[in-house]
Amino acid sequence: MVLVTGGAGYIGSHTCISLHEAGFDFVIFDNLCNSSQESLARVEKIIGKKIPFYRGDIRNKQDLQNVFDTHKIDSVIHFAGLKAVGESVEQPLHYYDNNVNGTLVLCQVMQEYNCKKIVFSSSATVYGDPHTTPIKEDFPLSATNPYGRTKLFIEEILRDLYICDNEWKIILLRYFNPVGAHKSGLIGEDPNGIPNNLMPFISQTAVQKREFLNIFGDDYDTHDGTGVRDYIHVVDLAQGHVKALHNIDKIQNVLSVNLGTGNGYSVLDMVRAFEKASNKKIPYKIAPRRTGDVAKCFADPSYAFEVLGWRAEKGIDEMCEDSWRWQSQNPNGYSRD
């Protein structure tokens, strides 16, 4: 049985479907601080099966022990965490408590129950401002904000855990920029309030929830001056977790793996691709650069293929079509109108 912390969230919900398709049994643990029961109901609809769900907080030992007492958990996919960069600058203690302390408590409980396999949601943010692209796993690590530092600290904590006990099997998946949604249009990204990230902002502009997109800077050293990122379809990302579980028993040492496509697209490339997919015009204005943004961030994904046999399969058009289907069918996300 796989324990999926944060399984009601954006990436977690998609991963649950891939786990089901691959024949894994799993249980979801989430405090729903950034997700809803409705996403679980939709996942159940897609897979045609009830999913054991525990509402609880990873910082609460008893909440977790309750799950480990009820199910024989052999491995954990650990998505639960807070992820808003700006909020992390305003509330660093909250981020360190939720993400770092939460992971400590989770690992303590895992140790108590002799469950020593964990796949952790890390991020390309651990590369800070990379000196060159594409980014390889052995590039220097740094952080530019408290959110990024929680990822960096958790990676270090997990490395220390392995050093003290080599029975641990630990995979750190460093995601680039997840976008897109499940083909059904039933589940997708449902940000709270005004989206920080590009794709939900574009898709909300397309359904006229937002008047126009602000493009943060057009004077970067990139092919058209706007920021370049490695957008990856969330279903490809979900599949990366299945591959991680398939390979976790054979890994030596802590494995850090980039999950990206290796393609860098600019903000304007994304706007054009989304316009094509949705047949809607995306009005935009050029705005000043956003503090902390880097010019270019894209992966060298070859190590993921080498060690996990995984590579991304979906391109930019499919990412935009699937994001659009989700957004147009659910203009208000999961909230019931």
The residues assigned a catalytic role are: 147
Total residues contacting ligand UFG (rule CB under 6 A)? 21
Choosing from 14, 59, 78, 83, the residue that interacts with ligand UFG (CB under 6 A) is 83
Q: Of the ranges 45-53, 81-89, 212-220, 279-287, which one interacts with ligand NAD (CB under 6 A)?
A: 81-89
| 42 near ligand NAD (CB under 6 A) | no
- Contact between 121 and ligand NAD by CB under 6 A: the answer reads yes
How far is CA 285 from its chain centroid? 28
Residue 290 interacts, among ligand NAD, ligand UFG, none and using kind-specific CB cut-offs from 5 to 8 Å, with: ligand UFG
Residue 210 binds which of ligand NAD, ligand UFG, none (CB < 5-8 A, kind-dependent):
none
Burial class (CB in 10 A: 0-12, 13-18, 19+), 178: buried
Q: 2-5 and 75-78 as β-strands: parallel, antiparallel, unpaired? A: parallel
Helix H, strand E, coil C: the string for the chain is CEEEECCCCHHHHHHHHHHHHCCCCEEEEECCCCCCHHHHHHHHHHHCCCCCEEECCCCCHHHHHHHHHHCCCCEEEECCCCCCHHHHHHCHHHHHHHHHHHHHHHHHHHHHCCCCEEEEEEEHHHECCCCCCCECCCCCCECCCHHHHHHHHHHHHHHHHHHHCCCCEEEEEEECEEECCCCCCCCCCCCCCCCCCHHHHHHHHHCCCCCCEEEECCCCCCCCCCCEECEEEHHHHHHHHHHHHHHHHHCCCCEEEEECCCCCEEHHHHHHHHHHHHCCCCCEEEECCCCCCCCEECECCHHHHHHHCCCCCCCHHHHHHHHHHHHHHCCCCCCCC
Considering the complex, what minimum distance in angstroms separates the CB of residue 134 from ligand NAD? 17
Residue whose C-beta lies closest to ligand NAD: 9
Listed ranges 2-10, 38-46, 208-216, 304-312: which one lies at the site for ligand UFG (CB under 6 A): 208-216
Which positions from 212 through 241 interact with ligand UFG, judged by CB under 6 A? Answer: 213-216, 227, 229
9 belongs to the binding site for ligand NAD (CB under 6 A):
yes
Which residue has 């902002």 as its token pair?
A: 201
Q: Which of ligand UFG, ligand NAD, none is residue 205 near (CB under 5 to 8 Å by kind)?
A: none
Q: How far is the CB of 120 from ligand NAD (least distance, A)?
A: 8
C-alpha 95/C-alpha 334 separation (Å) is: 25
The verdict on 265 binding ligand NAD (CB under 6 A) reads no
> CB 179 → ligand UFG: shortest distance, Å?
8
Per rule CB under 6 A, is residue 201 in the interface with ligand UFG? yes
The option from ligand NAD, ligand UFG, none interacting with 103 (CB < 5 to 8 A, set by class) reads none
CA 274, distance to chain mean position in Å, is 21
Q: Name the binder of 201 from ligand UFG, ligand NAD, none, CB < 5-8 A by kind.
A: ligand UFG
Give the nearest distance from C-beta 255 to ligand NAD in angstroms: 17
Nearest-approach distance from CB 260 to ligand NAD, in angstroms: 11
Of 168, 175, 220, 265, which one interacts with ligand NAD (CB under 6 A)?
A: 175
Interface with ligand UFG, residue 177, by CB under 6 A: yes
For ligand UFG, which stretch binds (CB under 6 A), given 51-59, 66-74, 290-298, 301-309? 290-298
Residue sitting closest to ligand UFG (CB): 227
Of 244, 217, 242, 236, residue with least CA distance to 228: 217
102 belongs to the binding site for ligand NAD (CB under 6 A): yes
Report the interface residues with ligand UFG, using CB under 6 A.
83, 85, 123-125, 148, 177, 196-198, 201, 213-216, 227, 229, 267, 290, 293, 297
